[in-house]
Amino acid sequence: MNVGLDHIGVAIRNLERGRAAYERLGFALAPPSIHRGSPSPGAPVIPFGSGNHCAMFRKGYLEVVGLMDPTIYSNIRSMVEKYEGTHIVAFGVASADAAYNELKGRGVPIQAPRALERDATYGLAGTDKRRAAFRNMYFDAAAYPESRLLFIEHLTRDVLWQPHLLDHPNGVVALRDVFLCTADASAAAEKYAELFDVAATRSAEAEWRLHIHHGYVWILTPEAWARRAPGAATPPLPAPTGIGFQVQDLARTRELLSRRGVAIHDGTGFIRVAPEDACGATLFFFDRP
């Protein structure tokens, strides 16, 4: 299926608070966009009560998503009721139908593709609107409880990946990693290796890494996560606990964050930002692919 890391979503009760936090971290966010979609496969497309700001990169993107109208349907509501932070982990496929047929043939518990869309601001002047359309397939949460896991087919890539949206003050050029934390990391690593048809490499004690077509999936026990991100608060597990980005110049990223009063934790070849500064998500900025 040639699966790659497409986007990661941080769910926040108040979208405006999320926008302010991530702009402080140096992400150039697209204007707000309100969701529409099918609540279930085959259902009609209806307005949702959620919206997002997206930080688009040369590879992948970050979605800051939150409630806009809590009185109408939104799958974000159940996420933020559980915790604020990283929830959505989406992998891109060229064809939702082909991926669905292959996975169903393998016995993977996944829902049929469903339509989602939103109106996105288009053009440098920001005066035009165009429809951004997707087909999403959601995995059974009981079988894959580590995140709100989905496969996505983009139908209108040009509407999202507009050239003027790809430059960020913090120098991020790509979404690189997702870190999944679970008590039985060994079993989870085997499960995801089978799903993606790649090898799970043991990278450290109680920690595995999967290298997919684009990006890395890290699966760790709570103890291994505590070694990788000392002192970082974690949401109720299992859950995604960290997001990794590739930057052009790590010194430039460090200088910007420091100037804006963000606490920085240094590592070898990376810097880390704690959940307190990123609406519940732990962020890593790496200086290499």
Task: Tell me the CATH number at 154.
Answer: 3.10.180.10
pTM for the whole structure: 0.95
- How many domains does one find in the chain? 2
- Out of 131, 150, 165, a domain closes at 165
- Please give the pLDDT value at position 199: 97
pLDDT confidence band for 120 (50 / 70 / 90)? very high
Mean pLDDT of the chain: 96
Question: Which residues fall within 8 angstroms of residue 134, CB to CB, at 6 or more apart?
Answer: 115, 116, 117, 152, 153, 154, 155
Quick one: DSSP state of residue 276? G
pLDDT at 41 over 80: yes
* Domain residue limits at 217: 172-286
Note the residue count of the chain. 289
What is the spatial distance between Cα 92 and Cα 63, in angstroms, rounded to a whole number? Answer: 14
Indicate whether 143 and 199 sit together in one domain.
no
Looking at the structure, do residues 242 and 213 belong to the same domain, yes or no?
yes
Together in a domain, 15 and 122: yes
Confidence of residue 234 (pLDDT cuts 50, 70, 90): very high
Final residue belonging to a domain, choices 165, 182, 197: 165
- Assign 40 a pLDDT band (cuts: 50, 70, 90): confident
- At which residue do the structure tokens 């497409």 appear? 6
* Arithmetic mean of pLDDT, 279-283: 98
**Which of these three, 115, 131, 165, is where a domain ends?**
165
Residues 6+ apart with CB under 8 A from 58: 166, 173, 174
Q: Are residues 14 and 152 in the same domain?
A: yes
Query: What's the CA gap between 97 and 141, in Å, rounded?
Result: 20
Please tell me whether residues 215 and 159 are part of one structural domain: no
Same domain, 195 and 268: yes
186 shares its domain with 260: yes
Per-residue pLDDT tens over the stretch 65-105: 998 888 888 889 999 999 999 999 999 999 999 999 999 99
pLDDT of residue 42 exceeding 90: no
Q: Are residues 38 and 90 in the same domain?
A: yes
Residue closest to 93 by CA, chosen among 174, 159, 3, 7: 3
- pLDDT in the model for residue 69: 87
- Tell whether 195 and 267 lie within a shared domain: yes
Residue 59: which residues within 8 A CB-CB, separation 6 or more? Answer: 4, 173, 174, 175, 214, 215
Q: What is the rounded CA–CA span in Å between residue 45 and residue 36? A: 6
